[in-house]
Structure 1
Amino acid sequence: MLERLSTDDEREALIGGDTRLTRAQARDLLLRLADGLASRGVGPGDGVAAFVGNTPEAVLLVVAVHLLGARLVYVPPEPGTNELKALVERADVKGVVVDPAFSTRLDGRPLADLPGEPVERTPAPDYTTIMYTGGTTGLPKLAVHHADGRWEAFRHTPAMNVLCNTLITHGSGAAACQLALTTASKLVLGPSVFDADTCVRLIRDEKITMTVFVPPMMYEVLDHPDCPGPQLGYVIVGGSALAPRRLRQAVERWGPVVNQAYGMTEAMSITMMPAAEVDLDRPDSLRTVGRPNPLMEVETRDGDIWVRGPFVMQGYWGEAPLSETADGWFNTGDVGHFDDDGYLYLDDRSKDVIVTGRTSDNVYSRLLDDFLVSLPGIRQAAAVARPDEALGEAVHVFLVADGPDVDVDRIRASVVAELGELYQPRGVTILPELPKTTIGKVDKRKLRSLFR
């Protein structure tokens, strides 16, 4: 990144809000941020928590922490205030850097006050990143990653105009930033909370050629009245599986440029479905997340997807590493299968499988979600489990429709005809929009909480 920022000084490098930085300005600020950290005693292995939004200064803070060999702890906004404090305490950090314009729910040193005067320091050979994943025990789960060298493969990639739509403290946003800075691309930051109007405007005004979406964000852009045409040359979609109908819509709108990536906070870069392998005449190519990354081992064990390789985390902070507990293997929590050609298909998240019926059979909610959005007038769908005394769990679907007149009986009949009686929705709720996490995924946990 320093090499890229040390050429063609006046070329724009980072854009966010009203801030526009040239390469020379970005390099200068990056080094002053590193100086500011070093002057406050931050060195190799020390933890620095970053509670920041999507700004050029925040992107450069991330690089500055790594430049010192320090341990960067991404702090996302999803947790409540008490859990935020618990996360920072659990991560054993030396200091917290905050952007008060982003949130005031966590105390720390304001990012704007961090740049310092030059101090003597040398780049560190290694660094560590810690990312929040939540937890089922009430304690934050913190995935530990070391430098993996994945960006070396992009050294000769031509420069692009890259738009980051997701928070830079999440995997997809962090990856978009790293890709841009290592390819000498212009990096444009969308707002910390995704807004389709802003996204469409930035694509047009900044002549964006490459971007990263999570599926609900892409759907909003596709539904936007000013959705861009075939301007985008490279689109990556990840975070959750794409609905085949929506993937077809994107390819028809933008051309063969939509690449699916399957990964997660704990295990990045598991598979990739290149745009060139998506064939609108082969429906299965619209459902798969592609073949495994050549550097990764991917297996299915009783339906569960297990992975091992350089892009898998070392383990959770404060717990034994995977190399000691599972020979490096990690259970993704996803349910899937391979076809005869080695393509992986995601059937569901383990926690989203609905166990229902007299014989307690599995309803794969992702399969139902995909079918529902193929019905006329249905824009978005989310199937979740609703507690039921007779069935254990009942299938309940939340829908976003084009208009107020939704024929629920027709929807039920269509589901039964296509997927069978087991998949029949026992309840249907029409919403103006589906709740989403901060990163833009449909928040099924929030939907399930409505039944408590």
Structure 2
Amino acid sequence: MTYVDLVLKQLSTDDEREALIGGDTRLTRAQARDLLFRLADGLVRRGVGPGDGVAAFVGNTPEAVLLTVAVHLLGARLVYVPPEPGTGELKALIDHAEVKGVVVDPAFSDRLDGWDLNDLPGEPAERPAAPDFTTVMYTGGTTGLPKLAVHRSDNRWTDRANTPPLNLLCNTLITHGSGSGGCRLALMTGSKLVLGPSAFDADTCVRLIREEQINATFFVPPMLYEVLDHPDCPGPQFGVVIVGGSALAPKRLRQAIEKWGPVINQGYGMTEAMAIAMMPPADIDFAKPDTLRTVGKANPVMEVETRDGDVWVRGPSVMEGYWGERPLAETADGWFNTGDMGHFDDDGYLYLNDRSKDVIVTGRTSDNVYSRLLDDFLVTLPGIRQAAAVAQPDEALGEVVHVFLVSEGPDVDVDRIRASVVAELGELYQPRGVTVVDRLPLTKVGKVDKRKLRSLFR
């Protein structure tokens, strides 16, 4: 049984119960089921069958969510295409993915030609779910050239079918891991799925939480920070909040727990290897500061190792490989180097030091500055809301530390910040440059875009 079977089962009961909400659209279970089969019929009429590739260039809408299920229903290969790339890269990406066609959200039609999502639905022809399907996901591209990660169908998601129904708000793009996974979980558990806009907006998020009585959601850290800083930040109404995608500052984690209670779950994963580790609320102890820094213990079904400081993983949530390249099983016995640097403590908790590409190599002996460690410390200083440390080229030292700060007010005492960093982390971590900005640039996934910050020095 696949997750699609479970979705069909949920959509076949309690017809008038709301299933999908996004923008001005509100679909009951019966309406969602009808549209799902109509979308599948539209794909079949365009020649899509088992194994064929269908690219989805879509935003956060109910129709787009059901489209992704329809592709899997037919046993086809779903290729998620998020809006990050430029037009030229989009076309090259789709050519590389070898798809039968591209379904395009009307809002994106000026960037790419394809099958209009609104024109796709045909007749509501019911079909049994195919036993196998494939999902291909565009990597975030924060550490190098984007690729297409291939995930085969498996039963990981069906293990969660007994989760009680929730009112779940999806804040991230449905074409990325957390968004697609959250949508899948909501549909197969009979939850009410509420879609935030494709471009995250804290005002809208806070409003939806209140109006839709949201009790479950997930954020990447910058989204979480904006909601915590919002004047109408909601109170303790959540049963579960999942945070992942990038490092979460311990100070902000403490703030979220104090605001909402022990409901914050930190998830560690990535496009190529989802659900690597989880830190549940019960394991967090304010009296033990390290519990605010760890990403938790390894997923029981995953193998996780550190080799020379690099985190390697193997297991069912690891991709098969990159599209067009040899599978991991042939090249590395299924093991995948995450690109993260970390270590385990004696109790089996995993700590991430930094992304390998974000380490700043500086000093006369070319030592490593872990930018995440500096980011986490800077936000503990009075008046600093967000921070991002990056490498700035330097003729004498190769690289020096430059920090970008979002402050609560216009006056920032740079000398005090430097002195505080040296006192806490040592001379090596001292910022040689400090830039105060209104906000940090984010990728479409919502992560701080350090590659863009580094490009400012070229």
Matched, 1:242 2:248: yes
Query: 1:278 Cα deviation (Å)?
Result: 1.2
Contact 2:38 2:125 in 1 (8 A): no
Report matched runs for 1:4-403 at 5 Å.
4-118=10-124, 121-133=127-139, 140-403=146-409
Gaps of 5+ in 1: none
How well do the aligned residues superpose, as a CA RMSD in angstroms?
Answer: 1.2
Single out whichever of 137-146 and 162-171 deviates more from structure 2.
137-146
Which residue matches 2:3? none
Q: Which whole-Å deviations, capped at 9, do the CAs of 1:425-447 have from their partners, x for residues lacking one?
A: 00000001100111111100110
Which residue matches 2:431? 425
Query: 1:151 Cα deviation (Å)?
Result: 1.6
Give the secondary-structure state (helix, strand or coil) at the position aligned to 1:2. helix
Counterpart CA distance in 1 for 2:145 and 2:245 is: 23
Query: 1:104 Cα deviation (Å)?
Result: 2.1
Counterpart CA distance in 2 for 1:161 and 1:264 is: 25
**Counterpart AA for 1:68:** L
Give the secondary-structure state (helix, strand or coil) at the position aligned to 1:89. helix
Counterpart CA distance in 2 for 1:19 and 1:237 is: 27
**Counterpart AA for 1:387:** P
Query: 1:357 Cα deviation (Å)?
Result: 0.2
Single out whichever of 174-183 and 372-381 deviates more from structure 2.
174-183
Counterpart CA distance in 1 for 2:152 and 2:364 is: 47
TM norm structure 1? 0.98
- 1:192 to 1:13, Cα distance in 2 relative to 1, 3 A: same
- 1:38 to 1:440, Cα distance in 2 relative to 1, 3 A: same
Counterpart CA distance in 2 for 1:367 and 1:326 is: 31
Counterpart CA distance in 2 for 1:13 and 1:171 is: 21
Q: Which whole-Å deviations, capped at 9, do the CAs of 1:392-415 have from their partners, x for residues lacking one?
A: 000000000000110000000000
Single out whichever of 269-278 and 319-328 deviates more from structure 2.
269-278
Gaps of 5+ in 2: 1-6
Single out whichever of 142-151 and 311-320 deviates more from structure 2.
142-151
Counterpart CA distance in 2 for 1:333 and 1:140 is: 14
Counterpart CA distance in 2 for 1:95 and 1:368 is: 45
- 1:136 to 1:352, Cα distance in 2 relative to 1, 3 A: closer
Contact 1:86 1:140 in 2 (8 A): no
- 1:227 to 1:136, Cα distance in 2 relative to 1, 3 A: closer
- 1:164 to 1:137, Cα distance in 2 relative to 1, 3 A: closer
Counterpart CA distance in 1 for 2:104 and 2:34 is: 20
TM norm structure 2? 0.97
Contact 2:140 2:445 in 1 (8 A): no
Q: Which whole-Å deviations, capped at 9, do the CAs of 1:337-392 have from their partners, x for residues lacking one?
A: 00000000010000000000000000000000000000000000000000000110
Counterpart CA distance in 1 for 2:350 and 2:153 is: 27
Counterpart CA distance in 1 for 2:450 and 2:383 is: 22
Contact 1:48 1:94 in 2 (8 A): yes
Using CA pairs below 8 Å that are at least 6 residues apart, which structure has the higher relative contact order? Answer: 2
Query: 1:165 Cα deviation (Å)?
Result: 0.1
**Counterpart AA for 2:99:** V
Counterpart CA distance in 1 for 2:10 and 2:91 is: 36
Query: 1:156 Cα deviation (Å)?
Result: 1.3
- 1:196 to 1:416, Cα distance in 2 relative to 1, 3 A: same
Contact 1:237 1:261 in 2 (8 A): yes
Residue-pair matches, total: 452
Q: Which whole-Å deviations, capped at 9, do the CAs of 1:164-191 have from their partners, x for residues lacking one?
A: 0001001111111011011100000000
**Counterpart AA for 1:311:** S
Counterpart CA distance in 1 for 2:232 and 2:125 is: 49
Give the secondary-structure state (helix, strand or coil) at the position aligned to 1:13. strand
Contact 2:35 2:124 in 1 (8 A): no
Which residue matches 1:407? 413
